[in-house]
Each structure stands twice: as C-alpha cells, then as structure tokens.
Amino acid sequence: MLYGIISDIHSNLEALQVVVDELEKREIKNVICLGDIVGYGANPNECCNIVKELSQLVILGNHDAGSTGLTNFSYFNWVAKRACIWTSQVVTPENREWLKSLPFTLELNKDLFVHASPSKPEAWKYVLSFDDAISEFQSFKNSVCFVGHSHVPVTFVEKGSSAKGARLPSVGQGCASGTKYGLIQDSKFKLEPNYRYIINSGSIGQPRDADPRVSFAIYDNKKKEVEIIRLAYDIKTAQQKILDVKLPEFLASRLALGR
C-alpha cells in the first residue's frame, strides 16, 4: 500500500496545497501526518481543516502542543514563541480540541511514526546526528521509524547482524560503531531485509536543508520503497501572509532560503 508521509506543515497553506495536489495526481489516498500542522505560518485553521480531511492518522507535534497549552514553550526561541502565541489566539475552538486530541506516536503495519524521537516523544528531542540516531535505535524494535521535527530529510540505517549481501550506503564519518550504521541521502531507495531505518521525510512548510521546496515522502510498505519528493510552491504569497498578520519578518524571509 502507498502512503504519503507528511510533516511540519507549519500553517503554510501554499506549501500544503501543492502536496495535496501531488498526492491526488499520484492517486495516493493514504496519508500519515507526523505533526506540527501549525506554528510559524499564517494559515493554521486552513491547514488543520485540510489535514483533518486528508487523514485520520495524525501525530502531535511540539508546535501543535505549544499553541494549545499542552506543553511549556518557554524553551522555544523568540520567533517560535511569538508564532505559538499568535496561533493560540486565532485557532478555532474546534481545531484547538482536535490538536489536543492527537497522540504522540502511531504504530501501523509494524512501522513506527513519531514527530520528534521514538525514545521520549514528549521531550521533543531532535535526531540530527549519528550519535542521536544510534541512541534512538536502542529505544524501539520496529524495522522502520518515520520522524519529523528537524525539517531535514535524511535516513539513518542500522545493519542487523544477520544482514547479508547488501552493503551499507554512505557509512557515517567518525561513527564509533564502524560500518554498522549508515546514512542515506538519495531521493529514492529500497529498504533491505534485516536493516533498520529512521527516516525523516523533511518539512512541507519550512524546509531547513538549504532547499526551499516542500519535502515529503511516499512509502510503499509492500515493495519496501521510500521516495522523498521535492516540489516548488508559491513562496512569495506565503511570505506576504506572514507579514500581513505581523508575525516576525524572519519567518517570512527564511522560507526563500530553506533555512
């Protein structure tokens, strides 16, 4: 079965719309959202409404929690905090209650889905480095774990002791465990038997890998294939909307930089 894996929309309606159009074009009807539907952008209610129609498989993100009083956002940087406060003031009661009802994790077809990290989802830890990934691999038993949160599409790989034949892709530099761990940055790849994966599908609404195009994944859980999709969208309109509602200018300018 084909799944669209989307994450970190961040109230960016223009970015979300191109993803919805692409999913429809590819006839992908099963969608899993890894959270952060709101925050940073100017259209939280519109994005909530679209995601609610798109999928019932939706996970809570830290900005969803921060904008609805579920988590203390004092650790957020000042622009994230400003966006959370503004979002909390404009989100509808219905969308607020929906966001508050979302779970921290989801397990489906033996695969694990979480916004931040599988070890402690409510702590909003990032999985950015090999050290992060090695630690996180110890916290779950599933072969595949999809994550978001960092806004950077990347896949960490752990080679099982019984894995034969296939060679690890792009083994990480300075990895203390030698060739047991690897990194995939290809846009399309196949999941190998007896390997384990932490897959970040990237961000729809605010990519941070120096590529401003939206990033999401298509996962074929039967063929065991993953493809990271990048699409251009109307950044200028999204930027202007941020400025129009008096959110920090930085939140608008960073969209064009992919930072």
Delineate the domains of the chain, giving CATH numbers in brackets: 2-257 (3.60.21.10)
Residues contacting 75, CB < 8 A, separation 6+ = none
| pLDDT of res. 171 | 42
Query: Is the alpha carbon torsion for 177, 124, 62, 113 positive or negative?
Result: positive
Q: What is the pLDDT along the chain (259 residues), one digit of tens a residue?
A: 899 999 999 999 999 999 999 999 999 999 999 999 999 999 999 999 999 999 999 999 999 999 999 988 888 999 999 999 999 999 999 999 999 999 999 999 999 999 999 999 999 999 999 899 999 999 999 999 999 999 999 999 999 865 454 455 544 433 344 568 999 888 999 999 999 999 999 999 999 999 999 999 999 999 999 999 999 999 999 999 999 999 999 999 999 999 9
In angstroms, the CA 19 to CA 203 distance is 11
Alpha helices (H) in 59-166, listed in sequence order: 62-66, 78-90, 93-100, 130-137
Query: Is the alpha carbon torsion for 34, 13, 228, 183 positive or negative?
Result: negative
In angstroms, the CA 70 to CA 127 distance is 22
Q: Which helix (H) or strand (E) holds 51?
A: helix 44-54
In angstroms, the CA 30 to CA 3 distance is 5
Q: Which two tokens stand for residue 3?
A: 């799944």
